[in-house]
Chains A and B, each alone.
Chain A
């Protein structure tokens, strides 16, 4: 059970990092749509805090 928990937790951090990377890339690539830019950053926020192990 502990092994499965650890695997899920590590996978979650990796997923957070991957999604964070995609969101940041989308933010940087976006040229026109201001709403899209903002949305990418807002969605990035909890993933960013999780990766830093703040909350």
Chain B
């Protein structure tokens, strides 16, 4: 065999191996589907494209779980995975989907709002591809997604993202961020079509309350809080006081800024009659000055560098050796949502929403998040959905 041919075969084999080593884990990540067992309250599962046909056939189309009560009442929408890199949101949403019984009113739940971003990864940031939640029947495996939609689905990025309809200039990357593209438009960029479809759901179904679930860095001031516009501020304040008094955790209220456009807590209130709330739970994993970005850090939130920063009063949340575990974050989200529904129902008895069989903060911290997920192997196939 000539020497050059031998080099060529060797190099080609090496490059194919290199490409495969890079591609296979990413392909496996994108193909993994999270099994969801529809609980007793789920009466049907719609698609977001039912409300915004511009999503049909795209990777951004996603499931909308509908939980209708025996009696009519108020309506609420829970949105999770606006940023799939903030996993306490989808975990809290799945607890509702798999367990809730609705006595009065209707609950809409979109557990994977930015589905395109959930199929993408952040290998450049050293993020793990998956995380696992311990359950009584084994470990449940979740994709760990990116903050923004995949460039495979929406590309190229503009130099500057011009928000519609306010024309505010935002960072180019926010064109793929579903918490900057509200209220969206039917013929806009793919992520604008995602938020537009959600707005159509809110307006068409006369939804009373919308809750967008998030997580934020401990070094970011808007963390561990409820963000609400003026129209929802009184209710948010009451919720904050109740969870502090009854359940012994903090979730303070932050006002939704008028001048910062594209955010759910701003635009939902401005472009519909729905009261919007955005919940933030602290995620130490997302902070910049931490150790390696491991699955363990994502789940237990324990980091020695953040501990040193906490001693110097550089964090916006209390932080000690116990870290900020996932169960605590999920529990906070679930309890704050239940309290929002409870307070709204008290103020609007004609539009009340009555739910049962949902654990609260103390239950989730004591038993673990996984305790509330059901074994897909024992589920009826007709009740099994995939995210």
Give me the interface of A with B, judged by CB distance under 8 Å: 1-2, 5, 8-9, 12, 27-28, 30-32, 34, 37-38, 41-42, 44-45, 48-49, 52-55
How distant is the Cα of A36 from the Cα of B155 in the complex, in angstroms?
Answer: 32
Decide if A41 touches B15 in the complex (CB within 8 Å). yes
Asked if B305 CB lies within 8 Å of chain A CBs, one says no
- Known contacts A1-B189, A2-B187, A37 near B26 by CB under 8 Å: no
State the Cβ distance, B73 to closest chain A Cβ, in Å.
39
User: A27–B264 Cα gap in the complex (Å)?
Assistant: 51
- Establish whether residues A5 and B189, one from each chain, have CB atoms under 8 Å apart when the complex forms: yes
Residue B23, interface by CB 8 Å: yes
| Assembly CA distance A1 to B156 (angstroms) | 11
Q: Find chain A residues with CB under 8 A from B12 CB.
A: 27, 41
User: Does A5 lie within 8 Å of B23, measured CB to CB?
Assistant: no
- Minimum C-beta distance from A16 to chain B (A): 12
A sample of 18 inter-chain contacts (CB < 8 A) reads: A5-B154, A8-B155, A8-B156, A9-B155, A9-B156, A27-B12, A31-B4, A34-B7, A38-B11, A41-B12, A41-B15, A42-B15, A44-B15, A45-B18, A49-B23, A53-B152, A54-B26, A55-B23
Instruction: Decide if B8 is an interface residue (CB 8 Å cutoff).
Output: yes
A8 to B314 CA separation, bound complex (whole angstroms): 44
CB within 8 A of A37: which of B8, B23, B156? B8
Residues of B within 8 A of A30 (CB): 4
B27 interface hit (Cβ, 8 Å): yes
Complex Cα–Cα for A27 and B188 (A): 42
User: At the interface, yes or no: B22 with Cβ under 8 Å from chain A?
Assistant: yes
Is B27's CB under 8 angstroms from A54's CB? Answer: yes
With A and B bound together, what is the CA distance between A44 and B152 in angstroms? 18
**0 or 1 for each of B17-52: is its CB under 8 Å from A? (1 = yes):** 011001100110000000000000000000000000
> Does the CB pair B23–A52 fall under 8 Å?
yes
Contact in complex: B19, A49 (CB < 8 Å): yes
Contact partners of B4 in chain A: CB under 8 A: 30-32
Contact check, B11 vs A37: say whether CB atoms are below 8 A apart: yes
Minimal beta-carbon separation of B77 from chain A (angstroms)? 27
Report the nearest A residue to B156, measured CB to CB: A8
User: Which 10 pairs of residues, A with B, have the shortest CB-CB distance?
Assistant: A41-B15, A54-B23, A8-B156, A53-B152, A9-B155, A34-B7, A38-B11, A31-B4, A41-B11, A37-B11
User: Is B8 in contact with A27, judged by CB distance below 8 angstroms?
Assistant: yes
Task: Check A1/B155 contact, CB under 8 A, given A32-B4, A34-B7, A41-B11.
Answer: no
What distance in Å separates the Cβ of B214 from its nearest Cβ neighbour in chain A? 26
CA distance in complex: A36, B4 (Å): 12
Q: Pick from B7, B26, B154, B189: contact of A55, CB below 8 A.
A: B26
Q: How far is it, in angstroms, between the C-alpha of A33 and the C-alpha of B22 when the chains are bound?
A: 27
